[in-house]
Structure 1
Amino acid sequence: MKLLTRYILKEHFLPFLYALLIVIFLLFTNFLLRAVDRFLGKGLPIDIILEYLLLNTAWIIALAAPVAVLVATLMAFGRFAEDNEITALRSSGVSFTRILWPALTFSILVAVPLMMFNNTVLPHMNHNARMLARDIYRKRPDLNVEAGYFIDDLPQYSFIVKGKKGDRYQDVHIYGKDRTVTQTSIRAEEATFRPLDDAILVTLYDGEIHEVEVTNYQNYRRIIFDRHRIIIPAEDLTLQRRETGSRSDREMTLNMIHEKISGYSERVSAIEERIEKEFEFNFPDTPIPPTMEDLIIMVKNQKEIEKEETISDPNRPISKSQDLENLSMRVRTDYQMIAGYERSINRYTVEIHKKFSLPSACIVFVLVGAPLGIMTRKGGFFTAIIFSFGFVLLYYLFLIGGEEMADRNYLHGAIAMWMPNIVLGAVGIVMTYQATRERTVFQLPSSRKKGKKHSK
């Protein structure tokens, strides 16, 4: 049995290396064609270009390894079936599960180091690649703005944008960090970011500014503008080569992500506490609505009551109605901040599970590839590539779709990232179970017809 295990492992090793190199070459070529325009006319030395290309091979390896495992499994078991080695082993009393076990062992030997790679090497190389890209584009600091993520690099403000159309960012929310005296929040339909020598000029269009004193919530001011400019100091964002800096979710290790999630959770708790205090002041006997929609309805109903009381008693002060209007504006902004932080938390949760779900696809691909290779009875490289392309395409469609739904808070990050493995894993288990139940090697219908003609 040890000889059989070594033999099956050897049959997987070389096809895996060949497939890994070819898939890396294909992905790298595609990346190079897309990245070449970034270097044209920049006058960059060759060592900087090579460093940038090398740093970007990390994510290519992370994607290529599971595909290479699938190709190797299809080739190995396809050749075993084509040479009737599977039939000979089954006739000798060796179960299909015993034949499959070395392949599963091989996939685990690939998956475990890949998990470590995704948590250690990959984040740092992704970060260094982005930092180097920032040097290359040092005259374009606005490229650091990513839709859907809070930008916390600036010393005085944090902001988030929902999208970008042309050179303008859409649905921009800006929050002041200095809350010792006044809490400031700004929302604009559109905005542009233009770099200055030591600052960033933000031009906002069609928006509102909300200001409220931290020590006295009654002092509230709302400003509506068609166009508004903010000059943000950017000394900390000078585009120089450096090892540290702000990291996106794909540039973080598990510890970094957990720390980020904890920070966002603390901010959510602080905002919820502030909402609770405001309601205790304005509605001491009313429970806080669970959602923003319920909150708006409650405030609207209370305003109607205030209006009716004002009509019945013209001499009644109307300051309470105005206070309710201000409260509605403040609470609405707070809930928008909570929703933004929760979306960010879910995105970081997606990245945590992606570090493990993608390497685990190696095991899933063995469960699918082994019985599929026997069904095709072809051990050729191009046959394996064709079948691998179909399953990998299906897998990544599930993965991308799940990530998109998780980013929109439709799915939990764990479900979104593990769903492709669960679905394809279930298919692989069914196919493997069928293989263990068959006395002879099962084949595709076309292969059976050819076998019958040959026997005649």
Structure 2
Amino acid sequence: MRILDKYILKKYLSSFILVLVLLIPIAIAIDVAEKVDKFLRHANLSVGEIIRDYYVNFVVIYGNTFMPLALFIAVIFFTSKLAGNTEIIAIHSAKISFTRFLKPYFIGATIVTVFALTMNHFVVPKSNEIFDKFNLTYIKSKKLNTNFISNINLQLGPNDYIFIKNYTVDRNIGYNFSYEIFEENKLTQKLMADNIRWIEKDSTYTLINYRKRFILKDRDSIVHGNKLDTVFNFEPKDLVNIDYMAKEMNSIELNRYINQSKERGVSNLNSYLVELHKRTSLPISSYILTFLAVSLASRKKRGGMGVNLAIGITLMFVYVFLLKIAEVLGAGADTNSFVVVWLPNIFFGALALYLYLKNAKN
């Protein structure tokens, strides 16, 4: 690696860390001002618990969120400074092309991307779990009502399905239960019950007021009773499809859950798919935002660094806005979540490519 590459890479990483370190305390200060009264309402809540369970995870979650913003501003800042000091002109005078000039930026973006991918896929989900639990316990005045779920349907295998009209999560009781078995698209068995209860110690289910119907070629056979203990190929956790859970599962668990839910016939998993795709698309944006920032700031402009920062911050707001729009649209049942989540990167990637080609020609 040349001295020039080491010089730019050092500037790249140090500027990025500096901007991130400056942004996080500001976010913490704003959050403390908003939440201090809620912390004080709980006499049993210690400062140590607030720091350990809330603000440590706050830094992990929001630091990860601010990463693209910090990177973009940092690259514009130090590249504008290089251009303002005519260092880039000297680099080009030494017969170093714009493409070759981008090499240390590419190395820096790779370091940031690998770090962000690791954080997004494995570290942040655990922080989300602890952070959300703290929020629900001490901060949010109205807790999410996730105790009652209606109209559950699952495919347990190629030919068997269950339906539950209403389900109570804390008591593990379902009402108006139905279990159907098909052979060659024809219903052969149907088990119905007024309610179904999970017996955790035995890993079994108890059916109350059950009716079991066997559909034969020439007649139907019906068996009924007050109580039936049996087993099924599902657990109560498989009935709960809550969107915020996606943020609390690491990517291996999330991918397994999505595949399992698809096999069981869950209709709309786009909110989970959006979360999974976002964990990759956001870190990859490090490359796009780096090359976009370099292309914007590598030429000396009248007005200096301030103009470049103004343009950069405006573009950053547009990028964040598009990310939020993509999350909302991607969660819709009739959309391709993968395409929608990657649209902001595609749009800004095209802009970065245009500016790169424009600079490479000169």
2:337 equivalent to 1:413: yes
Alpha-carbon shift at residue 385 of structure 1 (Å): 4.8
CA 1:138–1:59 in 2, change beyond 3 Å: closer, same or farther?
closer
Matched positions, count:
298
User: Distance in 2 between the 1:18 and 1:400 partners?
Assistant: 26
Instruction: Name whichever structure is richer in strand by fraction.
Output: 2
Please give the secondary structure, in 1, of the residue aligned with 2:41: coil
Cα distance change, pair 365–139 in 1 and its aligned pair in 2 (3 A):
closer
Q: Partner of 1:294 in structure 2?
A: none
Q: Is the 8 A contact 1:78 1:379 kept in 2?
A: no
Q: Which runs of 5+ in 2 are unaligned?
A: 153-166, 180-190, 196-208, 221-235, 238-242
Measured in 1, the distance between the counterparts of 2:147 and 2:337 equals 23
Match of 2:358 among 424, 428, 434: 434
1:181 matched to 2:177: no
Q: TM-score, normalised by structure 1?
A: 0.58
1:375, 1:212 → 2: CA distance?
A: 77
Report which stretch shifted further, 413-422 or 133-142.
133-142
Q: For the residues of structure 1 that align with 2:99 and 2:324, how far apart are their CA atoms?
A: 32
Distance 1:83 1:37, change over 3 A: same
Query: What does residue 392 of structure 1 align with?
Result: 316
1:387-441 CA-to-partner distances (Å, cap 9, x unmatched) read 3321221111111111111111242121121111111011001101100101xxx
Map Cα deviations across residues 205-239 of structure 1 (whole Å, 9 max, x no partner): xxxxxx99663799xxxxxxxxxxxxxxxxx99xx
Residue 366 of structure 1 deviates from its aligned partner by 0.9
**Following TM superposition, by how much is the alpha carbon of 1:358 offset from its aligned partner in structure 2, in angstroms?**
0.7
Match of 1:101 in 2: 103
| 2:275 alignment partner in structure 1 | 351
Helix, strand or coil at the partner of 2:335: coil
Aligned to 1:113: 115
State whether residues 39 and 139 of structure 2, in contact with CA within 8 Å, keep that contact through their aligned partners in structure 1: no
1:266 aligned onto 2:259: no
Shift, 1:267, TM fit: 2.4
Counterpart-to-counterpart distance in 2, 1:124 and 1:259: 17
In 2: Cα distance, 1:351 partner to 1:416 partner: 12
Tell me the equivalent position of 1:2.
2
Q: Which residue of 1 aligns with 2:127?
A: 125
What secondary structure is seen at the aligned counterpart in 2 of 1:342?
Answer: coil
Paired amino acid for 1:100: L
Name which of structure 1's ranges 139-148 and 17-26 shifts more when overlaid on structure 2. Answer: 139-148
C-alpha separation in 1, matches of 2:41 and 2:21: 31
Q: In the TM superposition, what is the alpha-carbon distance from 1:131 to its structure 2 partner?
A: 2.1
1:351–1:424 Cα change, 3 Å: same
SS of residue in 2 equivalent to 1:182: strand
* Gaps in structure 1 of 5+ consecutive residues: 159-174, 185-210, 219-235, 238-245, 269-340, 439-456
**Rg: which structure is higher?**
1
Evaluate the alpha carbon distance shift between residue 72 and residue 377 of structure 1 in structure 2; reply closer, same or farther with a 3 A threshold: farther
Output the amino acid matched with 1:63. Answer: T
* Aligned position for 1:256: 253
| In 1, Cα distance between equivalents of 2:140 and 2:298 | 54
Aligned-partner Cα distance in 2 for 1:404–1:98: 39
The Cα shift of 1:133 comes to 2.8
**CA distance in structure 2 between the aligned counterparts of 1:382 and 1:88, rounded to whole angstroms:** 22
Kept after mapping to 2: 8 A contact 1:75/1:379: no
Cα drift, residue 376 of structure 1: 5.5
Q: CA RMSD in A?
A: 3.5
